[in-house]
Amino acid sequence: MCDTIVVTSEFAADGVTLFGKNSDREPNEAHHLVSIPEMDHPAGSCLQLTYMQIPQVAHTYAVLLAKPFWMWGAEMGANEHGVVVGNEAVFTKIPYIKEIGMTGMDLLRLGLERGKTAYEALKVITQLLEQYGQGGNCGFHHKMYYHNSYILADPKEAWVLETADVHWAAIRVTGVYTISNAITIKNKWDLASPDLVMYAIDKGWCKSEQEFDFARCYSDFVYTRFGAGHERARNSHNSVKLDDTGVTPGTIMRALRTHDGDHRWHPGQGWKNSHVCGCSYSGPDRRIFRGIFPVPARDW
């Protein structure tokens, strides 16, 4: 299970927006750190994603990506304009597209390559999501299907974007915000897909707009419950808030190493889903790639 944290500049010790993510992938799945330069592309050219092709844009920005080796997309990354994005798997009531589709990781990289700000990256992702949807196997040896949530940040602002198939909601955040494998947005948002509420009403997940709650209406109960995403997000958030002198990269690192909020924890106690850090898992090997990105107000 993955966890992502953002701290906006007002709450950081040195006034720089901070972003961190644990990327938890399968054992023996290499996680590459790759730098891709800015590029110009011929008119009418196509872009091959993990499973499908879409039209390419005229220019793409330079990106630094942390990505599973076999995917076109990435789990986290930054671009030349100081935009950072990290994704989380979320589990919803809407059936997943299991054939060819655009993965959440593809959408993340597209946002970084085409967005000059966090807001622009968000618009890139949501427009492509509404046009193509999301889908395809996201597992390496074991097939895995899910929808996605994101934290997007730049030196000036941060956004949380949460999706369920082609439906989505986004909020602009200030201060500390953490996400794990669960939808967190409830009945207030800054931006949303046009049919977000009516789709839930039509499905019988709520009776009226006043009753609507994105997290409650759209979340799959079993996977969301046993994935312990809400517990991990709360644990990482509380770990960051413990540092009242101003958040530093070290604060984020400690939060991403949290073991259920128990500072007396040791590896012999074993791992459970509510642990933000999965290093102690006693089953098959568990790969954690931990990334911390300061977001300075300057180009690379």
Residue 26 neighbours by CB under 8 Å, 6+ apart: 139, 140, 141, 142, 287
Sheet holding 158-164, edge to edge: 31-36, 63-68, 76-79, 84-90, 147-153, 158-164, 167-173, 191-192
Q: Kindly state the tokens that stand for 69.
A: 């080796």
The interaxial angle of helices 249-256 and 229-241, nearest 10 deg, is 150
Task: Give the residue from 144, 153, 148 showing the smallest Cα distance to 107.
Answer: 148
- What CA–CA distance (Å, rounded) separates 196 from 86? 23
Closest C-alpha among 176, 175, 173 to residue 158: 173
Residue 88 pairs with which residues in a beta bridge?
Answer: 149
CA distance 105 to 83: 16
* Total Cβ atoms within 10 A of residue 45: 10
Known catalytic residue at 206:
no
Residue 213: is it exposed, middle or buried by C-beta count within 10 angstroms (0-12/13-18/19+)? Answer: middle
Alpha-carbon gap, residue 115 to 121, rounded angstroms:
4
Distance of CA 101 to the CA centre of its chain: 18
Using CA atoms, how far apart are residues 178 and 184, in angstroms rounded to an integer?
A: 9
Q: Which residues are catalytically annotated? A: 2
